[in-house]
Amino acid sequence: AQKVTQAQTEISVVEKEDVTLDCVYETRDTTYYLFWYKQPPSGELVFLIRRNSFDEQNEISGRYSWNFQKSTSSFNFTITASQVVDSAVYFCALNNEKLTFGTGTRLTIIP
């Protein structure tokens, strides 16, 4: 069975602070894929990143970075110098034959 845990239900930080969203997953498969999505108040789930289980290199895209650690089954997401536009619910997801979502972390950036 697959499971994704996002233990942080809600996080609030002041603008320009860095923030890390945690994601821990469980799977018995050796090949799998991990995703992060952003859901702003409008409702759309916006795809941010996909990472396969064989690629443990960290990735940086502008102010966003992702830390994949297979040893701890974690795929954490860090926003550097946060901005108000980063306020949203962020979902981590695990994909093998089906996409399993975590329960999401609501991030609020305070101006």
Chain positions contacting another protein, by CB under 8 A: 31, 33, 35, 37, 42-47, 50, 52, 91, 95-99, 101-104
CB of 16 to another protein, least distance (A): 29
CB of 96 to another protein, least distance (A): 6
- Output 12 or 103, the one with its CB closest to another protein: 103
Cα–Cα separations (whole angstroms), residue 97 to 1, 31, 65, 73, 81: 11, 10, 26, 18, 36
- Output 82 or 102, the one with its CB closest to another protein: 102
Supply angle C-alpha 105, 22, 17, rounded to 5.
80
Residues near 11 by beta carbon (within 8 Å), at least 6 away in sequence:
19, 21, 105, 106, 107, 108
- Output 16 or 50, the one with its CB closest to another protein: 50
